[in-house]
Structure 1
Amino acid sequence: MSLGHDTIQQINTITLVFFLVISFVNLFLGIFGLAFNILVFTRPTLRREPCSLYFLTATCFNFFVILIIIPVRMISISFNIDVGNVNTGICKIEFFTFYTVRAICSWLITLICIDRYLHSSSNASIRRLSSLKNAKLTIGIICIIIPIFYSHTYVFLNLKYVIDQYGNVGSSCVIENSTYSTFIALWHLALYSLCPSFLMLVFGSLTLKHLRQRRRLLAQPPENNQMHRRVHIHLLRMLTAQVLMIIICTAPYAVYQLYASFTASVPKDSLRVAQLNMISRLTSGISYFAHSTSFYLYTLTATVFRKESLKIIKRCCHPRRNVIAVIHGETYPLSVLQRNQQSAPRSIRSDQYVTQVIHTPYIS
């Protein structure tokens, strides 16, 4: 009996350590990477694309996952402190919000796949559907529909005294109805992982088909469209990398949820409960990489994203390099004037001839 208890304690300890390590890695990668995402997607080169608006909105929701959901889960699991286990209202709001936000993140990436499919079509009427106006509309619709799909959780969630994996008795925010418990597990699995992943693969394949057709029809695009086409291809690469990461990270979590749902009524001993808890924590922790790694995927796969990131870094390192002075109708970088002040002509060195100083976007 003592040997079994020691084994359970070891499994619980390993589970806690691995979960905290994965959570800290996600936290560090997410804070830095998502902040850069916001800076890059608001750059003039990208912000005119409807695809960039989807990426930017997804980044904001991912920020909520990284800054709110992960710390709350870390505190809850590490120190057994969860305000949702004390108050019924907070219990319902926490469950509803955490599930809703993660589902919205997945569906925003799905909308990007649909947008790229529309944008790559040879039919001009279909291409016109890919616009900033429609992007804003569909983002609003998703942000309304997904919460409605989870609204039923308010009815079935309640506080209940349960025994945790350590054998301690305490209140917990749980679903008492076993049938609904199985339903919500499958429902969240479908909304968060299965349906978005399936649609990503479908529209991704259709987009590649469109691109191959257009490549055959138009071997050499006009010069004025080459830059726009290059940005489109880079955005498509970023999207492909993001889709693959979502599928890879959420697949283990999806498999475990299916298994847990179909074996919920099967009696389990303490050792089995500890083992399943370890699998649950690890697969759940891995799924958060789908929210924290987007910046690094975009940097590796898209040249346009790397260039915009480097411009931001250079602008931060050399904040005065983007200042120009207008002298006699001609522009001079202020950093150059200061560097060559001694050798510059008197008319340039004199402040009275400087008509204005302008801060411009950094140009590499």
Structure 2
Amino acid sequence: MSFVAIQPRLVSINMLNLVSDIFSRYCLMVLLILGTIGLTLNTLIFTRRTFRQNSCVHYFLASTIANYFVVFFILPSRILSDGYDIDPGQYNLPYCRLRFYTYFTAKSLSSWFIVLACFDRKMSSSQSVHSRAFARPIISRWMIAITTLIGLLFYAYVPVFYVIDSSHNCGARAGFYSLFDDSVYLVGYSLAPPLLMLIFGIWTIGNTRRLRRIVPRGRRLSPLNKRDHTLMLMLFLQVTLITITTVPHAVQKLYSTLTLNVPKDDFTKAAENVFIIVVRTVSFINHSCTFYILTLSGKMFRQELYKITRKFMCKLGRQAIRTDHQLRTLTQTVKFTTSNPQLQRKQQLKKRNT
């Protein structure tokens, strides 16, 4: 009877392990491909002349650059370690610390740049001239530089706290350090950015409504233009995506730390492992799929994408015409040479003389 009872449990554990492998190998690989395409197109669009003098777009571009580190460094290392058990961090301490330092700083900076974009929209929609002066490209460049420096310093504890334990796992030191690490990740990546985005978003909506009112002297305050409304919609959808994808992973990390010393059977361990890998995979969606969210939400974004695509296709067409013309010219030259015996004899004499 005990054997009969154990069999279904083993089958369930094997199924859970299979789900873990699918997410670790194939889902992360799909996100890597989508991220490569999306981030490249994001960069091409955000650096176009149309957006070059828009301070909010500068924050989008900075977030895209931070996502490059996530997609091209963190994602491949996760695919190798979780999907194929190839993890240099199990025996190489400098790599272990560099990997997690990059992991925390890149993911957090990506979200904090969107917080700055929300604050930029809040200031640009203000009635105060001094507040609107904040939404300038020169200010955005300084804010990006300062925020990057703060982010690099904020996670400076990682190279100190992270070690390789006796089980060859790379992570924070056991005890207080591990709890501190998970709490910082929860607050600095999953709670504070979405909360600030929500506050600034509500503030922006209030400012926008006040801009539509008529002031006492009969003048109407100039409303936000279409570009500003499009950026606000794009921002709102990205904030929603960040909130949905970041909170579960941070909560899972904190839960794993708090229940580290709790006895668990094989089935519970397999179930928790699936949950860890699923929420971790979901957290990467925020960094890989922003392009597709922006394309769906922003008409102006789609128009710039269409211009880039049309320019690229025209360039390919001109190159194909040029190549075809060169081939025709070469073919006609060969035909003329072969059909002219005197020219052939002259070429043969030249070869002999040389």
TM-score by length of 2: 0.82
Alignment partner of 1:234: what SS?
Answer: helix
Choose from 261, 283, 289 the match for 1:287: 283
Aligned to 1:194: 191
Aligned to 1:259: 255
User: Does the Cα contact within 8 Å between 1:249 and 1:286 map onto a contact in 2?
Assistant: yes
Choose from 76, 95, 99 the match for 1:94: 99
Choose from 128, 132, 155 the match for 1:123: 128
- 1:187 Cα offset (Å): 0.7
Aligned to 2:341: none
Pairwise mapping of residues 138-157 of structure 1 onto structure 2 (< 5 A)?
A: 138-157=143-162
User: Does the Cα contact within 8 Å between 1:33 and 1:293 map onto a contact in 2?
Assistant: yes
User: Does the Cα contact within 8 Å between 1:315 and 1:321 map onto a contact in 2?
Assistant: no
Alignment partner of 2:68: what SS?
Answer: helix
User: Does the Cα contact within 8 Å between 1:54 and 1:111 map onto a contact in 2?
Assistant: yes
Amino acid at match of 1:64: F
Alignment partner of 1:209: what SS?
Answer: helix
Alignment partner of 1:177: what SS?
Answer: coil
Gaps of 5+ in 1: 163-170, 323-364
Amino acid at match of 2:279: T
Gaps of 5+ in 2: 319-354
Aligned to 1:230: 226
Aligned to 2:182: 185
1:301 aligns with 2:297: yes
Describe the superposition over 1:224-250 as per-residue Cα deviations: whole angstroms up to 9, x where unpaired: x78x71111111111111111111112
Pairwise mapping of residues 336-351 of structure 1 onto structure 2 (< 5 A)?
A: none
Alignment partner of 1:217: what SS?
Answer: coil
Question: C-alpha separation between the residues in 2 aligned to 1:262 and 1:310?
Answer: 50
**1:220 and 1:278, CA in 2 relative to 1: closer, same or farther beyond 3 A?**
farther
Aligned to 1:20: 25
Choose from 310, 313, 327 the match for 1:314: 310
Amino acid at match of 2:63: A
- 1:5 Cα offset (Å): 4.7
Question: C-alpha separation between the residues in 2 aligned to 1:32 and 1:220?
Answer: 47
- In terms of mean alpha carbon deviation, does 151-160 or 108-117 score higher? 151-160
Sequence identity percentage: 33
Alignment partner of 2:80: what SS?
Answer: helix
Question: C-alpha separation between the residues in 2 aligned to 1:309 and 1:9?
Answer: 45
1:207 aligns with 2:204: yes
Question: C-alpha separation between the residues in 2 aligned to 1:84 and 1:258?
Answer: 22
Describe the superposition over 1:252-309 as per-residue Cα deviations: whole angstroms up to 9, x where unpaired: 2233234334333322223212211110110010111111111111111111111111
Question: C-alpha separation between the residues in 1 aligned to 2:98 and 2:230?
Answer: 39
- 1:46 Cα offset (Å): 1.0
Describe the superposition over 1:62-96 as per-residue Cα deviations: whole angstroms up to 9, x where unpaired: 12211211111001112211111121111111111
Aligned to 1:172: 169
Question: C-alpha separation between the residues in 1 aligned to 2:136 and 2:289?
Answer: 27
- 1:221 Cα offset (Å): 7.2
Describe the superposition over 1:127-179 as per-residue Cα deviations: whole angstroms up to 9, x where unpaired: 001111111111111111112111112222111222xxxxxxxx221333222
Which structure carries more strand by proportion? 1
Alignment partner of 2:169: what SS?
Answer: strand
Question: C-alpha separation between the residues in 2 aligned to 1:148 and 1:56?
Answer: 22
Aligned to 1:73: 78
Question: C-alpha separation between the residues in 1 aligned to 2:75 and 2:219?
Answer: 48
Question: C-alpha separation between the residues in 2 aligned to 1:221 and 1:48?
Answer: 26
Alignment partner of 1:158: what SS?
Answer: strand
Question: C-alpha separation between the residues in 2 aligned to 1:31 and 1:220?
Answer: 49
Which structure carries more helix by proportion? 2
TM-score by length of 1: 0.80
Amino acid at match of 1:194: L
Aligned to 2:242: 246
Amino acid at match of 1:108: F
Aligned residues: 312
Question: C-alpha separation between the residues in 1 aligned to 2:314 and 2:154?
Answer: 48
User: Does the Cα contact within 8 Å between 2:24 and 2:78 map onto a contact in 1?
Assistant: no
Aligned to 1:136: 141
- 1:321 Cα offset (Å): 9.3
Question: C-alpha separation between the residues in 2 aligned to 1:256 and 1:151?
Answer: 23
1:111 aligns with 2:116: yes
Aligned to 2:272: 276
- 1:38 Cα offset (Å): 0.7
Alignment partner of 1:81: what SS?
Answer: coil
Alpha-carbon RMSD across the aligned residues, in angstroms, is 2.3
Structure number with greater Rg is 2
